[in-house]
Amino acid sequence: MPVYRYKGVAAGNRAVSATIDADSLRAARLKLRADGIFPTEIVAGKTRGETSELLSKLQLPALRRVPDLDLSMFSSQLSTLISAGVPLVQALSALTEQVERERFKTVVGAVRESVNQGSSLAEALAEHPHVFDELYCSMVRAGESSGALAPVLLRLADYVESRMDLRNQLINAMIYPALMLAFSAAVAGVLLVKVIPNITTMLRDMKQELPLVTRVVVAVSDVVTVYWFPALVVLAAALLIWTRIIRTERGRFAWDGFTLRTPVFGRLIRYVAIARFARTLATLSAGGVNIVGALEIARSVTANAVIAKAVDGVKDAITRGSSIAAQMRTSGEFPPLVTHMISVGEASGELPAMLGKLADTYDTQVENALQRMLALLGPILLVFVAIVIRVIILSTLLPLMNMTSAL
């Protein structure tokens, strides 16, 4: 149905401007007058589907996403308004005015318009997949079907907050190592670009024989200062090849399997994947989504092809009448604690609650693993930085010391 943009005057000489769906310009004018609005300008626009498609093409996915904090507040506030008996369209209107971030305000306003035109909330949210993902829309759809939309929205708010906390933990854990590596790279860069070439030129002019460590450092310095462009091309080509390999199904599976087997980071990666999986499955199953559909969505949030394949095996086993815990145990990718707690949840009929406890347990495990990793990485990085700087400085001092002793 065509969309018309209008400007007009409502009751109390209040100026209004918005959009309206109508079959024709005349029908739009009649609708507005029936609503008590005297139109002063009506302009034909694109249909909602065309507009959404155009925005999807013009905007990058990263630019259309909104922070988890905004999404959590939106879910919580919408739940509160619906629980208080406020009609959905009015609740969305209130939230549209309250949202501060302009990009999110536009999305909420579009959702309100779609609901006002007769779409369900889940359908309206699904028009903005880079803001409201499949999990979010499935939960809302289940909440609308069961008549428990407010509690479902509250669970979604809790889920988004948990996801945000986990991401923040990972980011905060990587800040210190990243700063240390950046500092060591800056110091090494200054020495290799500024100091080493000058000393090397002086020693070569004096025809001084260079020690092995000095020749190695000089070679690295030449790569950085003289052959930087070919080195950059080779590095870019290697990165491109690696990216193409990792995008294939076999390449991704092999890489994810390798990361799970790494000594320090493997356990952390597995804990993060299991925490995401358990939290997502708990939220979906508690919201009324059937277990097969919930597993299909939960597999995608693990961000690990090996764990995702194990979840696929669980989903197939369920359709054959097997239990979740039995297939998880068979896959060998889930720790005994996971299979035991899920087995207890299945036996007691409290699977969502048990999955929630499991997610809380692994969130704590992730936090503890991050703390242990930081405690280990700190001294290792300090030693690494000291060794790099010491080798570079030693490579400049050794020839000078040899030259002095020769005199």
Annotate 223-272 with DSSP letters as a single string.
HHHTSHHHHHHHHHHHHHHHHHHHHSHHHHHHHHHHHHHSTTHHHHHHHH
- How many Å apart are CA 170 and CA 165, to the nearest integer? 9
pLDDT in tens, 239-279: 999 989 988 989 999 999 999 988 878 888 888 888 888 88
Query: 105: which 2 tokens?
Result: 């305000």
Mean pLDDT (the chain) is 82
SS3 296: helix
Instruction: Tell whether 198 and 258 lie within a shared domain.
Output: yes
Same domain, 29 and 81: no
Structure tokens given for 364? 């704590």
Instruction: Please indicate, yes or no, whether the overall pTM of this predicted structure exceeds 0.75.
Output: no
Q: What is the pLDDT of residue 159?
A: 85
Residue 250 in any domain: the answer is yes
> Residue 383 belongs to what domain range?
174-407
Residues 243 and 301 occupy one common structural domain: yes
pLDDT tens-digit series, residues 120-156? 899 999 889 888 988 888 888 888 877 888 988 988 8
Bridge partner list, 44: 4
Question: Would you say residue 376 lies in a domain?
Answer: yes
Question: Which pLDDT score is estimated for 253?
Answer: 92
**Domain end call among 160, 185, 203:** 160
Distances (CA, A) of 324 to 225, 277, 318, 333, 357: 58, 13, 7, 13, 17
Shared-domain flag, residues 244 and 112? no
Tell me whether residue 165 is in a domain. Answer: no
Q: Tell me the two tokens of residue 379.
A: 């001294």
Measured distance CA(345)–CA(368) in Å, rounded = 25
Residues 242 and 313 in one domain: yes
The pLDDT-based confidence of 42 (bands split at 50, 70, 90) is confident
Which CATH number do you get for residue 407?
1.20.81.30
- Position 57 pLDDT exceeds 70: no
The position carrying tokens 């979740």 is 324
Residue 63 — pLDDT band, cuts 50, 70, 90? very low
Q: Is residue 169 part of a domain?
A: no
- What angle do helix axes 149-190 and 351-406 make, rounded to 10 degrees? 10
pLDDT in tens, 269-287: 888 888 888 888 888 888 7
Q: Would you state the pLDDT for residue 406?
A: 56
Q: How far apart are CA 221 and CA 124, in angstroms?
A: 58
Query: CB of 4 within 8 A of CB of 41?
Result: no
- Do 315 and 340 share a domain, yes or no? yes
DSSP helix/strand/coil, 58:
helix
Order of all β-strands in the sheet with 14-21? 14-21, 3-10, 38-45
List C-alpha distances in Å: 204 to 197, 200, 211, 342: 10, 6, 12, 70
Per-residue pLDDT, 92: 92
Please name the helix (run of DSSP H) or strand (run of DSSP E) that holds residue 38, with its range, or none: strand 38-45
Are 60 and 128 part of one and the same domain?
yes
Count of structural domains within the chain: 3
Q: How far apart are CA 62 and CA 179, in angstroms?
A: 25
Q: Is residue 202 part of a domain?
A: yes
Radius of gyration of the chain (CA): 30
Whether 156 contacts 283, CB under 8 Å? yes
The closest of 280, 49, 69 to 157, measured between CA atoms, is 69
Residues 260, 352, single domain; the answer is yes
Q: How far is CA 213 from CA 216, 227, 347, 389, 394, in A?
A: 5, 20, 66, 13, 8
The pLDDT tens digits of the residues spanning 286-318 come to 877 888 888 888 887 788 889 989 999 998 888
Nearest to 335 by CA among 250, 266, 284, 271: 271
Distance CA 375, CA 236 (A): 33
**DSSP per residue, 199-224:** HHHHHHHTTPPPPHHHHHHHHHHHHH
* Residue at 167 is within a domain: no
* Claim to verify: residue 238 and residue 117 sit in the same structural domain: no
End-to-end CA distance of the chain: 93
- Span 166-198, pLDDT tens digits: 788 878 878 888 888 888 888 888 888 887 787
For 274-303, what is the HEC assignment?
HHHHHHHHHHHHHCCCCHHHHHHHHHHHCC
Q: Which residues are paired to 38 by β-bridges? A: 9
Residue that finishes a domain, picked among 160, 194, 229:
160
**Alpha carbon of residue 149 to chain centroid:** 25
In a domain, 76, yes or no: yes
Query: 287 and 187 in one domain?
Result: yes
- Residue 143, pLDDT score: 84
- The pair of three-digit structure tokens given for residue 358, joined into one six-digit string: 């499991």
Signed CA dihedral, 170, 176, 181, 186: sign only: positive
Residues 27, 87, single domain; the answer is: no
Evaluate whether residue 51 is within a structural domain.
no
Task: Indicate if 146 and 199 belong to the same structural domain.
Answer: no
Neighbours of 266 (CB within 10 A): 14
Q: How many Å apart are CA 332 and CA 309, to the nearest integer?
A: 12
**Rounded to an integer, what distance in angstroms lies between the CA atom of residue 91 and that of residue 85?**
9
Domain final residue pick, 97, 126, 160: 160
